[in-house]
Amino acid sequence: MAGSPTPDRVLVAGASGATGEELLSVLRPTDLSVRATTRSYASVDALERHGADEVVIADFFESADAIAAVEGCDIVYCALGSPPSLRHLTGGKLVDRTGVINLITAAIAADVSYFVLQSAIGVGNSKGGLSLPARLLIRGALRAKRDAETALRHSGLGYTIVRPGKLTDRPPSGEVVVGEGGDSVSGSIPRADVARVMAASPFTPDARNRTVEVVSRNGLSSTPNNRVDIDWADDLLAAGHEHNRV
């Protein structure tokens, strides 16, 4: 975070999810203090085992929960997503819109310096990266994510929007292909790679206020367009965030 004081505490919203857990693993070796969220008391022990320093029970449909979750945090990593339901198709009340926007609103009020949002290839101008049948099947969720992306871009917060392709639970490939501008890359990517990119974003000056599409090199399903080269600060992150003071 060029020019910002060194962050101390970060929030992982949706830490109990599959990408959230990967984020906890990436952040664990750093000296950042990690606050994790879940709606379920039953997940607290597991989150602590995965490296959370603190666990907050929060339902982001409730703005009061969002306010309490971000309090005292410098960075928000948002890996929220709706559980499978018909609303992916029909839209309506989805955490991808309502919950994320509650979190963005709370982050603005709490003077958070940076917000990293996990979105998806298929959202907004990246619709060409997702097949038409898939797009139709989850069109409600794609619209919700588009609205959340727009809210973040207009928030005044420093941000990176990371749009991954199809998520897998494979080990990290370490070879992420990044595109920008929507019509760029398509395919799949391990959640562990997404977590590394997300974790590094606030410490990567090149990633500031950008929306990027990401897939792994071996997950590419078509020839990439509009590739961008971003020198992710992931090694600095692993070595401890104090090295990244600017």
Ligand X SMILES: NC(=O)c1ccc[n+]([C@@H]2O[C@H](COP(=O)([O-])OP(=O)(O)OC[C@H]3O[C@@H](n4cnc5c(N)ncnc54)[C@H](OP(=O)(O)O)[C@@H]3O)[C@@H](O)[C@H]2O)c1
Q: How far is the CB of 1 from ligand X (least distance, A)?
A: 23
Per-residue mark of binding to ligand X, 72-91 (x: CB under 6 A)? -------xxx----------
CB 178 within 8 A of CB 210: no
Position among 9, 39, 127, 143 found at the interface with ligand X (CB under 6 A): 39
Residue 162 or 230 with smaller CB distance to ligand X: 162
Least separation in angstroms between CB 246 and ligand X: 30
DSSP 119-133: --TTSGGGGGGS-HH
Residue 23 in contact with ligand X, rule: CB under 6 A: no
The residue among 141, 50, 43, 158 whose CA lies nearest residue 96 is 141
Selected from 26, 27, 120, 198, the binder of ligand X by CB under 6 A is 120
Q: Is 6 left (phi over 0), alpha (psi -120 to 50) or beta?
A: beta
Q: In whole angstroms, give the CA distance from residue 149 to residue 140.
A: 14
Considering only residues 155-174, where is the footprint of ligand X by CB under 6 A? Answer: 164, 166-167
d(CA 228, CA 233): 15
The residue within the footprint of ligand X, chosen from 23, 50, 118, 192 (CB under 6 A), is 118
Q: Residues in contact with ligand X, total (CB under 6 A)?
A: 26
DSSP 195-242: HHHHHHGGG-GGGTTEEEEEEEGGGB-S---SB-----THHHHHH-GG
The DSSP line for 24-56 is HHHHTTSS-EEEEEES-GGGHHHHHHTT-SEEE
Exactly one of 51, 99, 172, 187 binds ligand X (CB under 6 A); which one? Answer: 99
According to DSSP, the residues that pair with 189 across neighbouring strands are 167
Is position 201 an interface residue for ligand X (rule: CB under 6 A)?
no
The window from 17-25, 151-159, 209-217, 237-245 that contacts ligand X (CB under 6 A) reads 17-25
129 contributes a contact to ligand X by CB under 6 A: no
The footprint of ligand X (CB under 6 A) covers 14, 16-20, 38-40, 43, 58-61, 79-81, 95-96, 99, 118, 120, 164, 166-167, 191
